[in-house]
Every structure is written in C-alpha cells, then in structure tokens.
Amino acid sequence: MAGAAERLAQAAAQGDFAAAPAPVRAAYRDFLLDTVAVMAAGAAHGTLAPVRAAIVASGGAGPASAAGCAQGVPAGIAALVNGMAMTVLQLQDGHRRARGHPMSHVLPAALAVAEETGADAPAFLNAVMAGYEVSARIGASLGGMQPLLHDTGTFGSIGAAVAAAHLFARDSATGTRARLIADTIGNAAAVALFPFRDTCMEGAGAHHLFVGLGTQNGVMAARAALAGLTPSPDTLERFFGPRAGEGFVPDQLCDGIGADGTWSRHEILSAYLKWHPVCAHLGPMLDCIEALRARHGGFDPARIAAVRVETYATALDYDAPDPRSDLAARFSFRHAAALALCFGPLRHDGFSPRRLASAAVRAMAARVTLAVDPGLDALYPASRPGRVTLGFTDGQQVSAEVRVPKGDGPNPLPRADVNRKARTLIGAAWADPAHFDGIARLLDRVEATPPADLPQALGRLLRSPFAPSS
C-alpha cells in the first residue's frame, strides 16, 4: 500500500487549477493578493531592511525577485528573504485545523522557482495549489505542535517543497511528477526546522527566519530530489508527524483524497485571512473591542476603569506580558487591547515605540486582566472565541463575545475587505496607487484567464524599489 507521501504526491501531481471549482479559484486569488501584500509591507518594514540587504548582497545575481530589490537574485535567496517578510506584521494567512500558515511558505517558493524556470501561469498556479493542499493536510494531521515548537518552518516548508517540485517536473508525465513530489515530501519532512515558539513573544528577530529558512529549505529539498537525493521510507509517518505534532493522527494525512486519487475537497476553503496585525489568538479580543466601539459609538479611554479579556487556554501560551519591541507587542493581549482602546482600530503600523511608551497605553494595559473561560476553551481549536468586558468609572459594564473571528471559517473577509487590506499594505511599500492597481489587475485574472507570464510580471512589479510615502 502506498504511503502518505505517495498518495499526497499523486493528488498534487494531478491537480489542475483551471478545472477547480469557481469558489476555489476565487479563494486562491484572494490568498495570493493578500500574501503578496503582507510580504511587500513586511519586507519594507524598517526592522527587516538591514538583514534583507545583507542576504541579498551575499547571494549574487539570479532570475528571481526579492520584494523591493531591483537586482534579480537566485531562487533560494528570493525564497528566503520574501519568506522572512511574512511574519513581520503578523498579518499572514492561516488555516484553522492546521494551526499554521501554509500560503506564507508556498507563495515565495512557487514564485521564485517559477521565475527561475520560466514557468507560465498554469504551471505556477498548479504548483501553488499543490503545495497549499499538501501543506494544510499535513498540518491538520499534527493535532497542534509539540510544546515550545512553533509551526512556521515546519509543515509549511513541506508545502514550499511540493510547489517547487511540481514546477521542476511540470513538463513530465503525471507519474514522473508524482514520484519527484513524493521524494521531495520525504526530503523536506526529514529536514524541517525545529523553531523555538517563544522567540515571537520575546520579540526576537530570529522569528522571521522561520518562514524564510523553511521556504528556502523547501526549494532545496525539491532541488535535491530532482538531482537524485531520496528520503527514507515513510518519513512523514515515522519521523515528522511524531516529532512535530502533539496529537499526530497519521490517517488524517490523506484526508480529502478521493477514490480516484485526486482532491475530493480543497483545504483553501477552510483557510482564513487575518484582519488584525497581531497573533491570531489575539484577533477575537480586537474583534470584541471593535464591536463595542461600533455598538456604543466609541468611548473615552479616560472613563475605562477595567478591561477583562476572556479566552481559551492555548491563546495565553502566546501572550507577551511585557513587550519591548514591535514584534513582541503584536503578541501582547494587554498592550494590543490598550493600543486599540486608546488610539482606535489597530493598523499594521500601530505599534510604534512612541505609542507603546505613552503613559495612556501603559495605564490602560495595567487595567487589563486575562482569564481562561472553560466554555470558550471547549470551543478551541474548532473556533477561536473571545469575550471582552469593559468597566467604566461610573460603574457601567459592557461586554461583547466573538465565536468566529473576522476572516475565519464562516466569517470570511469579503472581497472588498481583502482588497482594502491589500491596498493599504502595498501602499506601505509603494505609495503610488498604481502599484496596487497593477498587482491587483494581474491577480484578478487568476480566476479566469491569467496572462501566460503571470509569475514574471508579478516579479517585475515586486522588484520596484520601495517608495513609501514620506
């Protein structure tokens, strides 16, 4: 009987993006635009600029594109520096059951290898779909990560590898392509990262290496398989799953593969896009605050005497109680709540040192208490619920509860909000609105008739030197 890697590879090798149902193609369009926007704004962020410049300078010339760099770079370098940008703003994609971020790994790998190999739009889109569908299934089978292990750079790296292998073998027979993908899955599963969870809450910039190195590892695992390096049998089941997953269920690796060996459902339809620039576990809290703001026509921060945030236990594992950096603050329940209550809805650029150090934010953060609610805890991981209660100086209390955060599951971002988010983030990298218009026009065509040179055209737009507003 074929192992999981072989069955996943067979489904991935047969996938045809153009033949996918319209809602699937629409979802991929939205996730591609969102991920490109998140990548561009993250790459343009000041905290990442020096290391990106150093890596690009060390890599030499090549055919692939690094966002904001006019010079072409090798595919592995593009995968690394574009991947590193994904977690800077904490606005990257997610998949609820997988509890991770497949597209953040798959897109940089697929774009880099498509540019390197001259792949056309159908090959690029088939590779993206293959990588995403494999990665999400592997992530969902893990039952969460082992304690202290972060998800980024793990199963997402395998998705990046699948996308690269699909492109390397795009002109081969389906069986040949499937064999290369199967070997690549095994290779990537054997060398996936072992990333330290707490780097993000502690504000360590090394956190951004997780997606970057994971994506680069995926490309190299595929390249090695193409050159003849093969894995041990059943590496997914024997090593990666038990090593990475807290509740690994091997039978779930191939969930959603039909009797004909093709995808019987598409995991992209179970994915989510973030609306708030924070760890996903903090999103429900900010949804509650915005619901209260809308319900009561805003509120005077000076009148707020107490803020009670109730959530599920896993969420508090990711809390940064005393953040000292932009990154750490995006994992701080108290400080994210304080910023939203003092300054209004949180934007991608809302974590400046000046704001974090302000007396108003420090005082508001001190009024926030956190608690695990057993009823909310029982709803996780199927959902990410939260509840916020504001107590005012006159004794009044108001409360809001969210069961499904904005952007998640049955509450997806409307297309208008996907575009609005992307316009804002791309505008943070290139202030000229024409840049967003060009990227959006290109990706709008994904659903029907993408231009043959889609990867190359996207790469050219990404290479424009960053020109944010002054």
Give residue-wise pLDDT tens across range 10-62.
999 999 999 999 999 999 999 999 999 999 999 999 999 999 999 999 999 99
Q: Are 245 and 359 contained in the same domain?
A: no
234 three-state secondary structure: coil
Q: Which of 350, 375, 402 is the last residue of a domain?
A: 402
Q: Which of 353, 370, 402 is the last residue of a domain?
A: 402
Domains held by the chain: number: 2
Question: Does residue 416 sit within a domain?
Answer: yes
Q: Are 271 and 288 contained in the same domain?
A: no
Backbone angles phi, psi at 434, to 5 degrees: -65, -25
pLDDT digits (tens, 9 = 90+) for 252-286: 999 999 999 999 999 999 999 999 999 999 999 99
The pLDDT value given to residue 468: 81
Q: Are 322 and 249 contained in the same domain?
A: no
Instruction: Name beta bridge partners: 306.
Output: 391
Question: Does residue 467 sit within a domain?
Answer: no
**Nearest-angstrom CA–CA distance, 385 and 260:** 38
pLDDT digits (tens, 9 = 90+) for 419-462: 999 999 999 999 999 999 999 999 999 999 999 999 999 999 99
Q: Are 48 and 184 contained in the same domain?
A: yes
Tokens standing for residue 80? 């690394």
Q: Are 30 and 146 contained in the same domain?
A: yes
Q: Are 296 and 266 contained in the same domain?
A: no
Q: Which of 372, 402, 432 is the last residue of a domain?
A: 402
The pLDDT value given to residue 409: 82
Question: Does residue 470 sit within a domain?
Answer: no
Q: Are 298 and 398 contained in the same domain?
A: yes
Whole-number CA gyration radius for the chain: 22
**Nearest-angstrom CA–CA distance, 82 and 93:** 15
Per-chain mean pLDDT for the chain: 97
Q: Are 220 and 266 contained in the same domain?
A: yes
pLDDT band for 469, please (50, 70, 90 cuts): confident
Q: Which domain holds residue 418?
A: 4-275+412-462
Backbone angles phi, psi at 43, to 5 degrees: -65, -30
277 three-state secondary structure: coil
Query: Which H or E run includes 51?
Result: helix 49-59
Q: Are 419 and 394 contained in the same domain?
A: no
Contact 386, 73 (CB under 8 A): no
**Nearest-angstrom CA–CA distance, 80 and 56:** 9
Question: Does residue 319 sit within a domain?
Answer: yes
**Nearest-angstrom CA–CA distance, 335 and 346:** 11
Helices (H), 60-208: 75-84, 102-117, 121-141, 155-168, 174-191
Question: Does residue 457 sit within a domain?
Answer: yes
Tell me the CB-side half-sphere exposure of residue 358, using CA atoms within 13 A: 14
Contact 157, 209 (CB under 8 A): no
Q: Are 158 and 207 contained in the same domain?
A: yes
Single-letter code of the amino acid located at 302:
A
C-alpha distances in angstroms, 124 versus 6, 182, 224, 375?
A: 21, 19, 20, 44
Q: Are 106 and 153 contained in the same domain?
A: yes
- DSSP for residue 145: B
Question: Does residue 469 sit within a domain?
Answer: no
pLDDT digits (tens, 9 = 90+) for 124-173: 999 999 999 999 999 999 999 999 999 999 999 999 999 999 999 999 99
Looking at residue 435, which CATH number applies to its domain? 1.10.4100.10
Whole-prediction pTM value?
A: 0.97
Contact residues for 441 (Cβ-Cβ < 8 A; gap 6+): none
Q: Where are the beta strands (DSSP E) in 314-465?
A: 368-372, 386-392, 397-402
> β-pairing, 304-311 with 368-372?
parallel
Instruction: Name beta bridge partners: 399.
Output: 389
Single-letter code of the amino acid located at 147:
P
Q: Are 194 and 338 contained in the same domain?
A: no
**Nearest-angstrom CA–CA distance, 256 and 466:** 41
Looking at residue 371, which CATH number applies to its domain? 3.30.1330.120
The pLDDT value given to residue 1: 57
The pLDDT value given to residue 470: 60
Residue with tokens 């509890």: 99
